[in-house]
Amino acid sequence: MNTLKILLRNLVRGPSTVPFPFAPAWTPERMRGRIEFKLSSCTGCRACEQVCAPGAIRFDKTPEGLRFMMWHNTCVFCGLCEFYCPTDAIRNGNDWHMAHAVGEKYGMAIRETIPYVACTACGMKALASAPNPAGVKPPFTPEEIEQQRNLCPACRKKALAERGVQP
Amino acid sequence: MSNFTIPVGPLHVALEEPMYFRIDVQGETVEHVNITAGHVHRGVEYLITKRNVFQNVVLTERICSLCSNSHPQAYSMAIEQIAGIKVPPRAEYLRAIADEIKRVASHLFNVGILAHLVGFESMFMHVMEVRERMQDIKETIFGNRMDIGANTIGGVRYDIDPASIGYLREQLDALLPDVEEIIKIYNTDASILRRTKGIGVLSYDEAIDCGVIGPVARAAGVNYDVRVKAPYAAYDRLEVPVHTLKDGDVWSRAMIRLMEARTAIDLIRQCLDTLPGGPTVATEERPAIPPGEAIAKCEAPRGELIYYVRMTDSPKPERVKWRVPSFPNWDALGIMLKKAKVSDIAIIVNSIDPCISCTER
């Protein structure tokens, strides 16, 4: 009897499946999908490379700067890089439409380079990465981030000391 | 009647996981069972010593999909013990919530497969449809349907805000009547009762002898649940009822799972009612792990899961060893299958909810 009741109810309710690919499938906001990388926020700390479980993330030193490389087909969508990133430069977006032709497989990667610049204070060659926000109070303003980006590590330290730690 | 030997498996005995039985039958009756394991040995214990402690949280999660929260949880608990990290109270509650959400989904899956093996396909579809609500919860709150990624060393990786608490409560309110209905059907439906009552019996004494754990032990009357005997996460602050039945047959094991699914819904609600504020991780940065060794255990959907971890100066563990609940449970299959009919083999194997990928890793 119970089963008949359920069968009837299901008939009235209609299908509970999604008609994908003929209609869009429901995707929650937090779903961990394709990796999104924001170069301007990356501090070059390489935490994501160290925690990446399948080894999908790699940093290489090139003549132009520090190259960030991430392979979508190696990624397991665990979200560790997002969790340990100090500036939210890397995150899992909720895009899961990643089927592609075999010919496109080498394009399924993110390759971006943090360039070298000359330090605006001392002229030394330095990496134009975003400053690490850990322990900085009050937090950096967008102007300060741009200012820090163009300094070498020693001059960044000096600028931070001049700024002072405010309670 | 003649004697002969039939192979069952390695594919599709009950779940789509490889497990190979060589069964000596006398006519239709099982005389002797020979279990051959090792088809999904992937060398995870070796791999784990080649990755650092943080990467291993993800690797342990991928040992098995249905217990994918229990493995990283026990692993994290062992590492935290070595490093002396105190998990904040909010994280303890969030760990319990993740654990119970996975438990509901896992138990409903097994009970659904039982209906499928009984030949009651519409019931199977219905249970899986009910379970789909749990999958939606996992996808919405954690970001994945199976590998929810809730745990990290020193706490949890997710947090819930009032909006997601509201969503979770709403979904649980909708789920509970469906689970109650399934319990009623499994209690009364003749076709399910005929195929499961008195089948694959494991008595109390045999359960103690085999050292079975989890729902298999509780269905035989063994009152053992890690959440009560050795509380971890927030379970010492929650009211956890332990369900036991006396018969130890396939039906009892299914009923234990259904009752635990109902209890898990109540436990999630208890957690949401008393959820404390504060941080969700002990340290924002990656903690340093000193040398040492530790054992941690937790109650996976299939029973007690024990982790042993030994760390040296290296960031990679020297040895990680775990004892999964399916290991003692499948030993009891020899007793359960004795004198069973050939047609009941799949039902009996499914009733211990074997997790081959955990056991053979």
ipTM of the prediction: 0.81
Using 50, 70 and 90 to split pLDDT, how confident is the model at B217? very high
Q: Tell me the pLDDT of chain B averaged across its residues.
A: 89
Tell me the domains of chain A and their CATH numbers. 29-94+102-163 (3.30.70)
Q: What's the rounded mean pLDDT across residues B282-302? A: 89
Q: Which of B90, B29, B82 is nearest to B281 (CA)?
A: B90
* Contact call for B286 and A52, based on CB within 8 A: no
Closest chain A CA to residue B56: A53
DSSP letter at A82 equals H
Nearest to B132 by CA among B114, B145, B117, B113: B145
Using the structure block, give the residue that is written with the tokens 């939210």: A88
Q: How far apart, in whole angstroms, are the C-alpha atoms of residue B224 and residue B247?
A: 16
| DSSP conformation letters of A116-153 | EEE-TTT--EEE-PPPP-TT-SSPPPHHHHHHHHTS-H
Each residue's pLDDT tens digit, A125-166: 888 888 888 777 778 888 888 888 888 888 888 888 877 655
Check CB contact under 8 Å for A30 and B152. Answer: no
- Residue A83: its chain B contacts at CB < 8 A? 152, 157
Residue-wise pLDDT tens digits, A16-66: 888 888 888 888 888 999 999 998 889 888 889 999 989 899 999 999 889
The answer to whether the Cβ–Cβ distance between B188 and A134 falls below 8 Å is no
Kindly report the number of other CB atoms within 10 A of residue B335's CB atom: 18
With bands split at pLDDT 50, 70 and 90, how would you rate the model's confidence at B338? confident
Q: Which two tokens stand for residue B55?
A: 């990467």
Nearest to B335 by CA among B35, B26, B12, B17: B35
Q: Residues of A with CB below 8 A from B189's CB?
A: 2-3
Residue numbers in A near B286 (CB within 8 A): 47, 51, 84
Superfamily of domain B42-325, CATH level 4: Cytochrome-c3 Hydrogenase, chain B (1.10.645.10)
* Residue A102 distance to chain B (closest CA, Å): 26
Which residues in chain A have Cβ-Cβ distances shorter than 8 Å to B157? 79, 83
Question: Which residues 6+ apart lie within 8 Å of B296 measured at CB?
Answer: B74, B75, B77, B78, B81, B232, B306, B307, B309
Stretch B208-236: mean pLDDT, rounded? 89
pLDDT top residue among B12 and B338: B338
For the segment B10-23, the average pLDDT, to the nearest whole number, is: 76
A115 touches chain B (CB under 8 A): no
B55, B126, B144: residue with CB nearest A6:
B126
Are the Cβ atoms of A53 and B152 closer than 8 angstroms? no
Which residues in chain B have Cβ-Cβ distances shorter than 8 Å to A47? 286
pLDDT for position B36 = 83
Mutation choice for B interface testing from A4, A6, A50 by most B CBs within 10 A: A6
What confidence score (pLDDT) does residue A167 get? 43
Give the pLDDT band of residue B266 (cuts 50, 70, 90): very high
What's the Cα-to-Cα distance from B298 to each of B95, B113, B234, B235, rounded to whole Å? 11, 25, 12, 11
pLDDT range class, residue B259, cuts 50, 70, 90: very high
Model pLDDT for residues B76-88, shown as the tens digit of each residue? 999 999 998 989 9
Put simply, whether A83 touches B (Cβ < 8 Å) is yes
A30 touching chain B per CB within 8 A: yes
Helices (H), chain A: 2-13, 47-51, 80-84, 142-149, 153-163
Q: What region, left, alpha or beta, does residue A113 occupy, with left being phi > 0 and alpha being psi -120 to 50 degrees?
A: beta
Contact B87, B232 (CB under 8 A): no
Q: How many Å lie between the alpha carbon of A95 and the closest alpha carbon of chain B?
A: 12
Contact B157 A79 (CB under 8 A): yes
CB contact under 8 A, B149 and A78: yes
Nearest to B123 among A3, A32, A84 (CB): A3
pLDDT at B333 over 70: yes
- With bands split at pLDDT 50, 70 and 90, how would you rate the model's confidence at A2? low
pLDDT in tens, A88-113: 899 998 888 888 999 998 889 999 99
Distance between CA atoms of residues A66 and B2, nearest Å: 74
A98 CB-near residues (< 8 Å, 6+ apart): A33, A34, A72, A108
Contact B54 A7 (CB under 8 A): no
Check whether B264 has a pLDDT greater than 90: yes
Name chain B contacts of A76, Cβ cutoff 8 Å: 58, 62, 147
> Which positions in chain B touch A16 (Cβ < 8 Å)?
129, 132
Hey, are the CB atoms on B185 and A2 less than 8 Å from each other?
yes
Option in B58, B129, B284 nearest A80 (CB)? B58
**How far is A7 from chain B, CA to nearest CA, in Å?**
8
Q: Is A2 in Cβ contact with B157 (below 8 Å)? A: no
Distance between terminal CA atoms of chain B?
A: 40
The pLDDT assigned to A65 comes to 87
pLDDT of residue B13: 62
CB contact residues (below 8 A), chain A span 118-147, against chain B: 134
Judge: B57–A16 Cβ closer than 8 Å, yes or no. Answer: no
Residues of A in contact with B126 (CB under 8 A): 6, 10
Three-state DSSP state, B310: strand
Suggest the residue from B63, B71, B94, B126 to mutate for an interface test with chain A (most A CBs closer than 10 A).
B126
pLDDT band, very low/low/confident/very high, at A6 (cuts 50, 70, 90) = confident
Instruction: Report the C-alpha gap between A42 and A20 in whole angstroms.
Output: 36
Sorted by sequence, the CB contacts under 8 Å of residue B327 that are 6+ apart come out as B359
